[in-house]
Structures are given as structure tokens and as C-alpha cells.
Structure 1
Amino acid sequence: MKRITTLFLLSCTFLLSSCAAPDVEYYQGSQPEFNFKQFFSGKLKAYGVVQDFKGEVTRKMVVDMNASWDGNNGVIEEDFVYDDGETQRRVWKITLNTDNTLTGTAGDVIGIAKGKSNGSVFHWQYTLKLPYGDDTIEVNLDDWMYLVTQSRLINRTAIDKFGIEVGEVTLVIEKVE
């Protein structure tokens, strides 16, 4: 009986650890090298979908972005247009640190977003206030950006509430020449 219990616990540990996302350090040396400031400069455009917890697409969006920098302090303006006609604006204030970490704030972000890049990947996490009916709800976002080319990246964001994934956002972001 003791062996069965031990085997069961080891199996559960293996299954739980295999579900965890890799650390950003896993991507060290991957190419092309993701330089946040270089990519998020000037005009960008994003196209994306929002999926619910079942994987069903609930919304589509197009986002116009404009990013500017003063040294290591940046501003990224995002103007969202959803397929149902709703619009939304978010203005990020970004600080790049010398150790490849980044912090950011925005009007609908609770506290400070914290992230780090390594290789071709950038990962950050933050809590966001989302409109919900006549009120708002707080959700946690786990945001992964994968640089595909110097002018295009794929952004996947898991949306969690109480530690349970309730949705996902997928975006393709392109630099506009």
C-alpha cells in the first residue's frame, strides 16, 4: 500500500509540474533577439481574438498602437476596436531596467505590471480591471510575447480569476512602416 501511495504522489507531482509554463530563462539564446524598446517604437497594429474557458472565440479586435521613448521610459498608446463596435483605450507607461526587466502601469492596471525578456521572448504579468456589466472585475493576466521576425510577434495571454483560467487572448502585432 505504501508503494502505491508513493507512486500515486509521484505521478501527481509529475502531472502538475508538466502543466507549468516554462520560465523565460528557457528561451535564452533563441532568435531573433527580442528588444522591447526596438519593437515597441513608432506605429504598430494588432489583430486578435478573445476566447472563453472552452476555447470558443467570443470577440475579435483590431488595435492601433503608437509607442514613443525618452531614454528608458516609454509610452505605448493602444486603441482597441472590437467586432461589436466597442472601443477601448489603454496608455501604458513603461520603464526598462538594465537587467532586461520591465515595469509598466496603465489606468486599468492594478499595481505594477512586471516582466522580463530573454532570447526571442518577453513575459509579463499584471492584474487588470475589466468592464463586466455595469461594474468591473479584476483578472490576472499572464502575457507571453514571441518575436517571429523583427517586425512581427505573436502574443498569447492567459486570463485567470481565482487561479482558474477563464479565457485567453491571442494577438499578432506588426510594426507599421
Structure 2
Amino acid sequence: MALLTRRMVWLKGVVFASFIGLLGCSSPTVSEYADNSPDFALSQFFSGHLTAHGILKNRSGKVIRYFDADLHGQWQDGVGTLKEDFVFDDDEKQHRTWTMTPDEHGQYIATANDVIGHGVIRQAGNALFMQYVLRVPYDGDTLDVSVDDRMYRVNDRVVINESVLSKFGFDVGYLTLVIEKVVDPE
């Protein structure tokens, strides 16, 4: 009986340690950035002309694609539209138009032509997080992947975006993107 009791205590210790370990692996929430600046005012940053430059990595971390994009944002009555035109290193072109509508919780609901359902934009301090399902072209067909976008405003003109793409709960790709506001010469 003493052996059984020791094994139970040991097992409970292992389960508790595993639980604590999992808590340590949880990803940060957007609220953890609430005190960071500059403030990520969505309608202010995604307004006017912007450019973007990025890389796409496969699940092993190897860069498999490069791209540039022109973006144009405008806002009317609190609702934003962001048009994105991508050109990849193999000359493939993609177009996406986001519509960002405020909700009653102080967040934004984001929809786009190749997004299944919608994303919820959460913002605090200099950070903006959004999760959604994106339909992407793949091998002559399409593939629906979950996207976890994490954007961080670095200064008045630059945002860095890191995205994890997953399918069936497994990471299948990583995207890193630098977005810069185009300042018109005066």
C-alpha cells in the first residue's frame, strides 16, 4: 500500500509539473502590451498609402517565398477598408480587400474576400492581434489555413507583423512582414 501511495504522489507531482510547464508555454495576450507605445490606433495607421515587404517560411523555417505589397486604407463613419495588392517573387499576384467594422466591445470585426467567416481584431498599446481562416491557392486548388497575426507598431511609420499559419492544429508556415506608411513629400 505504501508503494501505491508513493506512486500516486509521484504521479500527481508529474501531472502538476506538466500543468505548470504548459502554463509557461502559453503565448502572450494583446493586453500585455497595453502600456507600450506608440499607440496602435487602427484607423490612423491603416489610412492612406502603405507598402509592405515580407517572407514566407515553411514549417521547417526555410524561406520559400518573398513578396512586396501596396496597401491603401480609408475610413468612413468608423468603418475601414484596406486594399492589399501582393506581388510574389515568382510574379504571382494576389489581391485582398479587408473591411474592418467596430463592434460593441471596442474591437473590430474584419472580413476579406479570401477569409472564411471573419477575424476579430484586438488592440492594446502598440500591439494588434487577429485570428482568422484564410483560403489560399495551393497546388491548383485551395487550402484553408488558420492564421494568428501579431502586429507591433515600432514607430509612427512602421509595423512589424508576425503570423503563424496552421492546419489541423499543426504549424505549417510562418510569415514575417514589415508594413510602412508612405509619407508624401511636402
- Do they superpose with TM above 0.5? yes
SS in 2 for 1:29: coil
Q: How many percent identity over aligned positions?
A: 37
Match of 1:38 among 38, 44, 50: 44
Matching of residues 91-130 of structure 1 within 5 Å:
91-97=97-103, 99-130=105-136
SS in 2 for 1:149: coil
Tell me, yes or no, if the aligned pair for 1:100 and 1:118 is still in contact at 8 Å. no
Which one-letter code corresponds to 2:98 in the other structure?
W
Q: What is the CA-CA distance between 1:99 and the residue it aligns to?
A: 4.1
SS in 2 for 1:100: coil
Aligned partners of 2:141, 2:99: CA distance in 1, in Å? Answer: 25
Aligned partners of 1:15, 1:140: CA distance in 2, in Å? Answer: 25
TM normalised by structure 2 equals: 0.91
Match of 1:142 among 125, 148, 168: 148
For the pair shown, which has the larger CA radius of gyration, 1 or 2?
2
Aligned partners of 2:106, 2:149: CA distance in 1, in Å? Answer: 16
Q: What is the CA-CA distance between 1:97 and the residue it aligns to?
A: 3.7
Q: What is the CA-CA distance between 1:11 and the residue it aligns to?
A: 2.1
Instruction: Flag the structure with higher strand content.
Output: 1
Query: Cα 1:65–1:88, aligned 2, differ >3 Å: closer, same or farther?
Result: same
Q: What is the CA-CA distance between 1:27 and the residue it aligns to?
A: 1.1
Q: What is the CA-CA distance between 1:21 and the residue it aligns to?
A: 1.0
Matched with 1:159 is: 165
Q: Give aligned pairs, total.
A: 177
Aligned partners of 1:59, 1:7: CA distance in 2, in Å? Answer: 46
Which one-letter code corresponds to 1:130 in the other structure?
V
SS in 2 for 1:44: strand
Matched with 2:83 is: 77
Which one-letter code corresponds to 2:54 in the other structure?
G
Q: What is the CA-CA distance between 1:96 and the residue it aligns to?
A: 2.6
Q: Which runs of 4+ in 1 moved over 3 A?
A: 97-100
Is 1:24 matched up with 2:50? no
CA deviation map 1:39-68 (0-9, x unaligned): 000000011000111111010110110001
TM normalised by structure 1 equals: 0.96
Q: Structure 2: which 5+ runs fail to align?
A: 1-6
Tell me, yes or no, if the aligned pair for 1:72 and 1:97 is still in contact at 8 Å. no
Matched with 2:137 is: 131
Aligned partners of 2:27, 2:154: CA distance in 1, in Å? Answer: 19
Aligned partners of 2:104, 2:48: CA distance in 1, in Å? Answer: 22
CA deviation map 1:107-161 (0-9, x unaligned): 1000011111001100011001011112111110011100000110100011010
C-alpha RMSD over aligned residues? 1.1
Point out the more displaced range, 48-57 or 91-100. 91-100
Q: Structure 1: which 5+ runs fail to align?
A: none
